[in-house]
Amino acid sequence: MRVIIEPDYDKMSKWAADYVAKRIVEANPTAEKPFKLGCPTGSSPLGLYRELIKKYQAGELSFENVITFNMDEYVNLDENHPESYHSFMWTNFFSHINIKKENVHILNGNAKDLVEECDNYEKMIEDAGGIDLFMGGVGPDGHLAFNEPGSSLTSKTRIKTLTTDTIIANSRFFDGDMNLVPKQALTVGIGTVMAAREVLLLCNGHHKARALQHVVDGNVSHKWTASMLQMHPKAIVVCDEAACDELTVATYKYYLDKERGNL
C-alpha cells in the first residue's frame, strides 16, 4: 500500500487528479481499448473531480474513450432527486467533460429486480474487461462504497442496508433529517473493488482519522471494510494532514519519507 500525505484537501485532490490523469493518458485509450474508471460520490472526491475537469478544459485530458462504473446508488430515490448519485455525478463531473452518455454506468436503485440489477452490473464490469482504476472515498466508520461494517470482504455488487452511523452522516445532504435518507443502497462489493487493477482511496479531515488509522495501521477487518485494501497489490491512499491524527508517529514519518519526490 502507498500512502500519500498532502498538507490539505486541495493538495490531496490535486495529487489524486494528477495521478488519475497520468494513468488515463499513459493508457492511451481507444474505442476498442477504453480506460475503465471506477467513480465514487461524496464530498471527498469533489476536489478531484474539479481538478480533472480543469485538465479536460485545458486540453490535457480526454474522456472520449473512458468508461465509468460508479460505486453505489441509493435504493428507491428518484434518479432526478438532487441527492441521488446519478444527479451528483452529472452535476459535479460528467456534464463538464467529454464522456459519452453510453459509457457511464450507475446502478439503478429503482430497478424492478434489484438482485438482477446488481448481477448485471457485475457482468457489465466483467464484459468491459474489469476496472483499471477504482477511485474511492471512505466513511468515518471505514466503509468503502456502501460496504458497511460487517460486510463480507469478498462481496460483489448487491443490496445493503445502511447503518445508523451512515444514515446520520448522510443526513447532512437531506436537510439534516435522518428520516429522509434512504435506508438501503446498491453497492459494488469489496471483492468488486479488489478486482480492479488499481485502487485510489481519498481520506481527508479529522473526522476520518479513526478510519485512516484502521485502514493503514490496523488489521484487515470486516468492521472497517476499507482495510481490505491492505491485501490489494496496487492500492494508494491519498490523505491530508488532518486525517493522519491517529496514525502512529512511525507510520506517519515512514510514508512521508518514502514518498518524498515521488509520484
Our answer to whether residue 10 is catalytic in this structure is no
Q: In the beta sheet, which residues pair with residue 200?
A: 135, 236
Q: In the beta sheet, which residues pair with residue 95?
A: none
Contact between 147 and ligand GLP (CB under 6 A)? Answer: no
Residue 256 CB, nearest distance to ligand GLP (Å)?
Answer: 23
Contact between 71 and ligand GLP (CB under 6 A)? Answer: yes
Distance, CA of 238 to CA of 115 (rounded, Å) = 33
Contact between 166 and ligand GLP (CB under 6 A)? Answer: yes
Residue 254 CB, nearest distance to ligand GLP (Å)?
Answer: 25
Contact between 44 and ligand GLP (CB under 6 A)? Answer: yes
Our answer to whether residue 72 is catalytic in this structure is yes
Q: What SS3 string covers the chain?
A: CEEEEECCHHHHHHHHHHHHHHHHHHHCCCCCCCEEEEECCCCCCHHHHHHHHHHHHCCCCCCCCEEEEECEEECCCCCCCCCCHHHHHHHHCHHHCCCCHHHEECCCCCCCCHHHHHHHHHHHHHHCCCCCEEEECCCCCCCECCECCCCCCCCCCEEEECCHHHHHHHHHHCCCCHHHCCCEEEECCHHHHHCCCEEEEEECCHHHHHHHHHHHHCCCECCEHHHHHHHCCCEEEEEEHHHHCCCCHHHHHHHHHHHCCCC
Contacting ligand GLP (CB under 6 A), which of 138, 195, 209, 235?
138
Residue 128 CB, nearest distance to ligand GLP (Å)?
Answer: 21
- Choose one: 20-28, 38-46, 124-132, 192-200; the region binding ligand GLP (CB under 6 A): 38-46
Contact between 192 and ligand GLP (CB under 6 A)? Answer: no
- Which of the following is catalytic: 73, 117, 148, 198? 148
- Which of the following is catalytic: 6, 51, 72, 117? 72
- Which of the following is catalytic: 73, 141, 240, 246? 141
Site residues (CB under 6 A) for ligand GLP, limited to 169-188: 170
Residue closer to ligand GLP (CB basis): 172 or 258: 172
Residue closer to ligand GLP (CB basis): 195 or 211: 211
Contact between 228 and ligand GLP (CB under 6 A)? Answer: no
Residue 26 CB, nearest distance to ligand GLP (Å)?
Answer: 26
Our answer to whether residue 143 is catalytic in this structure is yes
Q: Is the dihedral of CA 163, 165, 167, 169 positive or negative?
A: negative
- Choose one: 87-95, 115-123, 126-134, 138-146; the region binding ligand GLP (CB under 6 A): 138-146
Provide the pairing of β-strand 158-161 with 184-187.
antiparallel
Hey, how many other C-beta atoms are within 10 angstroms of the C-beta on 114?
18
- Choose one: 7-15, 35-43, 213-221, 238-246; the region binding ligand GLP (CB under 6 A): 35-43
Residues annotated catalytic, as ranges: 72, 141, 143, 148
Residues that bind ligand GLP (CB under 6 A): 40-44, 71-72, 137-139, 145-146, 166, 170
